[in-house]
Chain A
Amino acid sequence: MNQKRWRHWRARLLIFLAVLGPGIITASVDNDVGGIYTYSLAGARFGYSLLWTLIPTLLALVVVQEMAARMGVVTGKGLADLIREEYGFRTTLFIMAALVVANLGTTIAEFAGLASGMGALGVPRFVAVPLGVLIVWSLVVKGSYRIVEKVFLVACLVYIAYPISAFLARPHWGEALLGTVKPSFHFHASYIYLMLALVGTTIAPWQQFYLQAAVIEKGTKVKDYVFSRWDVIAGCMVTGVVAFFIIVACGATIYASGHRQIRDATDAALALRPLAGHAASVLFAFGLCNAALLSACILPLSTAFCVCEGFGLESGVNKRMHEAPAFYWLYTGMLVVSALVVVVLSEEKQIPFILLSQVANGILLPFVLIFMIRLSNRKDLMGNYQNTPLFNTVAWLTAVVMAGLTLLLVVSAFFPNRLPR
């Protein structure tokens, strides 16, 4: 009897492992340069008082990503494909344009992070960034994308440094845990802005497109869908755990020291002092560069695939340049433009681009959410896997709150002085 049960569970575990991947990868890319800095800033500036935003944000993330995964498994079609087929050409054009702008800005932020990280190690940015572009381009185009993913994912294990550091810094765990469950609200511009940035960096439009495509690539069968759901939940938990420990580590070190500012990578690296001592900068730089390169590999690629999918253009890294011109131009263009912006412009001048990407993400997200909810409610597309009424309630609530928050973010980006200091 026991043998049979064990075999049953083992079979289920095997399917789970086979299906595992898209959720975890999306989560890891979620902890990109923007993510690391935002979480660090949150911990450094406000200690544990922003921790409470994590749980609601992650809940929202699970809901949204579950929809994307479910749509991918059941319809076998990408999100851009579905939007084009159900909402027509013009809508697709606007969404794709916004996606390109948003992702371009995010890629700029990734390369800025790469420059900043390598800068802390003494490598000038006009060396680090072109090198980064070269590595990313050759890995994706010449190498095997699968192997690239796996290599970077393994390198993501470096995030273990944060929990260890957090423990070593001996924070007030009681305070931290209280901060996680008890919402506190300071009506300051910087607090609100950081709160919005936290939400915005965790739930981004590109993730939904990427996750849906990755799930289809995995070839998960409809009947194994439950395991995809667990993959998504696992991924979101990973994001949450890493975010929590980054905030706590920064809170226990930088915030506690009274300094409370993060101007560059060296400042942010202080959070790892308890673990690494003087090698904190090196450790942090490694983690930052790893995150930057992983995102730089995935983001432009995903964007190029999406746009080609929406407009029925040829795509694929194994195709020659003249067979898939739009795809190659878009992909290479995004890499080159981001790199140029980071190398040529000074750090202050880069900020408007990064802000622009946050605004574009903010404008895009509510629309993408609404489309996703409506598409996943269609019986002719989803069959028996439509949203349940409970899910719909939660999903619509999430969409409305997200829309409100991101509207606030957009407004504050244009009118930074409207909120009380």
Chain B
Amino acid sequence: MIHFTELDHLPIYDVRGRYLGRLMDMGVDPGQEPRRVAAYHVRTPKKEFLCITHEQMQSISVRSAQTRVPLDEIRCYSPDEGLIRIKKDVLDQQIIDVNHRKVVRVNDVDFDIQPVDSHTELRLLDVNVGLSAAVRRLLQGLMAKHTIRTISNLFPAKVIPWEFVNLIESDPARRVKLRISYDRLAGLHPADIADILEELSRDEQKAVIESLDDETAAQAISEISTKMQAELLGSIATAKAADIMEEMPPDEAADVLQKLSPETSAGLLAGMEKEGAEEVRELLGFEENTAGALMTTEFVVVNERETVEAAISALREFEGDLDSLSVIYVVNSLGMLTGAVPLGRILLAPGSAVLSDLATGPVIFAQSFADAKRVVALFHKYNLLTLPVVDERGRLLGVVTADDVLELVVSRK
């Protein structure tokens, strides 16, 4: 194994023993072989740059490197955006460590030396974000390389295998060229993705969000602070932002829209699907910090005279978040809230049972203008998971869920 700190400024000779220059950087081509170093960038004493391909490299060690070909066969360096350059794009940059769900800084990059046919190849092993690499960087160039190795091995190494490294690249075109995808990142829990997002700079956040699918993006954005949500959604393309907001629960979308400027807000609403936009506009009509502003309009409601079977088909057709569903609300033909049926009861009752018979006790509800404190008090007193919200005539408008209330309680502290 060899470290980038040991390869930096390595003297390079051609096949005839002529000194070419010092190794400045290396490039990896993700389109061809994603772990093999495809190009070596060498700076000559005349301050020009050469580019040695992987097939031209005969041997590499910590002492020096030698090519297989003479100088005249080595071409001049020309910048290639399709290469991942180790020093420029990886070293000292922030990357996403998917396994530990955080953002870390690369201190060193490790390679494997592999003889192949008539030449030698370097393959990317991992990046080192720990203390041993920091010590190596500190002592680099100050003493013999084997001494540095001995000293740095006294310190703990924290490595991330290359396949778990997610580079962060703000330029979307370059992301495509470098085949940077955030699939593994998308597999994390949205709360963890949000943690990672909060540690990135604004452009980097944009890069990640633009690469995730709408649903995952919406879930992740829901978990970051509201101020950051507004900044982030305001900075990505309106079309994508509107798509993401459609995937968010309408009450969250309304919260975010309130933080944006009126023009941006209007632009986003215009970009959303009619139905979704309507729901959000409705919620925006409520005063901040009232039950109406906290509620979501995505809930399951069935007429009280319907059967359990009808309730189950309503559940099947429900497009909202099933995870926070615990109760089905029943209304009369005027839309007025008359009862609540816990899902447990629905499961256990025969399909023909009428819902109004299954509804438990007097139904607890809040008026749409009730303030947030009252909502919290109700949740606490009656041990609720969801609280229905009605208008002045008693008609069901929406539902406040426990996570929103928790948010309130935590932010108050």
Contact = CB atoms under 8 A, between A and B. Distances in A.
Whether chains A and B associate is yes
Interface of A: 75-77, 81, 84-85, 88-90, 93, 216, 219, 221, 311-312, 314
Contacts of A85: 92-93
B203 interface: yes
B295 interface: no
Interface stretch (B41-49, B134-142, B281-289, B384-392): B134-142
Contacts of B104: 312
B202 interface: yes
A81 B231 CA distance: 21
Interface string B187-222: 000000000000001111000000000000000000
B235 interface: yes
Given A84-B105, A312-B94, A221 B138 contact: no
A378 to B, nearest CB: 13
B138 A312 contact: no
A228 B201 CA distance: 18
Interface string B219-237: 0000000011001001100
B140 A90 contact: yes
A202 B227 CA distance: 33
B92 A84 contact: yes
Given A90-B138, A312-B104, 18 more contacts: A75-B201, A75-B203, A76-B201, A76-B202, A76-B203, A81-B201, A84-B92, A84-B105, A85-B92, A88-B92, A89-B92, A89-B138, A90-B140, A216-B202, A219-B202, A219-B228, A221-B235, A312-B94
A150 B103 CA distance: 31
Contacts of B228: 219
A312 B105 contact: yes
B138 A93 contact: yes
B235 A89 contact: no
B93 A90 contact: no
Given A89-B134, A221-B235, A312 B201 contact: no
B132 interface: no
A89 B231 contact: no
Contacts of A216: 201-202
For the complex of A and B, 5 pairs with smallest distance between CB atoms: A312-B105, A89-B137, A76-B202, A76-B201, A77-B201
B102 interface: yes
A233 to B, nearest CB: 24
B107 interface: yes
Nearest to B106: A312
B256 interface: no
A75 B206 CA distance: 13
B137 A88 contact: yes
Nearest to A84: B92
A77 B201 CA distance: 6
B129 interface: yes
24 contacts: A75-B201, A76-B203, A77-B201, A81-B94, A84-B92, A85-B93, A88-B137, A89-B134, A89-B137, A89-B138, A90-B137, A90-B138, A93-B138, A216-B201, A216-B202, A219-B202, A219-B231, A221-B235, A311-B105, A311-B134, A312-B94, A312-B103, A312-B105, A312-B129
B190 to A, nearest CB: 19
A contacts with B: majority SS:
helix
Contacts of B91: 88
Contacts of B93: 85
Contacts of A88: 91-92, 137
B128 to A, nearest CB: 12
B227 A219 contact: yes
Contacts of A84: 92, 105
B203 A314 contact: no
A290 B137 CA distance: 42
Interface residues of B, number: 23
Contacts, number: 41
Among B91, B93, B94, B105, residue most surrounded by chain A Cβ atoms (within 10 Å): B105
Given A219-B227, A221-B235, A314-B102, A89 B203 contact: no
Nearest to B203: A76
Nearest to B87: A88
B327 to A, nearest CB: 33
B203 to A, nearest CB: 5
Interface string B61-92: 00000000000000000000000000000011
Among B103, B201, B204, residue most surrounded by chain A Cβ atoms (within 10 Å): B201
Contacts of B234: 221
Contacts of A89: 92, 107, 134, 137-138
B174 to A, nearest CB: 12
Nearest to A88: B92
Contacts of A90: 137-138, 140
A77 B205 CA distance: 12
A354 to B, nearest CB: 29
A314 B94 CA distance: 13
A312 B138 CA distance: 16
Contacts of B94: 81, 312
A216 B93 CA distance: 19
A312 B92 CA distance: 9
A363 to B, nearest CB: 19
Nearest to B136: A89
Contacts of A81: 94, 201
B221 to A, nearest CB: 15
A48 B204 CA distance: 51
Nearest to B202: A76
Nearest to B204: A76
A312 B133 CA distance: 13
Contacts of B138: 89-90, 93
A215 to B, nearest CB: 12
B151 to A, nearest CB: 15
Among B102, B134, B204, residue most surrounded by chain A Cβ atoms (within 10 Å): B134
Contacts of B137: 88-90
A84 B93 CA distance: 8
A226 B104 CA distance: 33
A89 B129 CA distance: 12
A77 B203 CA distance: 9
Nearest to A73: B202
Contacts of B235: 221
A314 B103 CA distance: 9
A219 B198 CA distance: 13
Contacts of A219: 202, 227-228, 231
Nearest to B133: A89
A239 B134 CA distance: 40
Nearest to B235: A221
Contacts of B202: 76, 216, 219
Nearest to B206: A76
B143 to A, nearest CB: 14
A89 B131 CA distance: 12
Among B102, B202, B231, residue most surrounded by chain A Cβ atoms (within 10 Å): B202
B385 to A, nearest CB: 27
Contacts of A312: 94, 103-105, 129
B54 to A, nearest CB: 26
B65 to A, nearest CB: 22
Nearest to B91: A88
A72 to B, nearest CB: 10
Contacts of A221: 234-235
A85 B107 CA distance: 11
A75 B204 CA distance: 10
Contacts of B102: 314
Among A76, A81, A221, residue most surrounded by chain B Cβ atoms (within 10 Å): A76
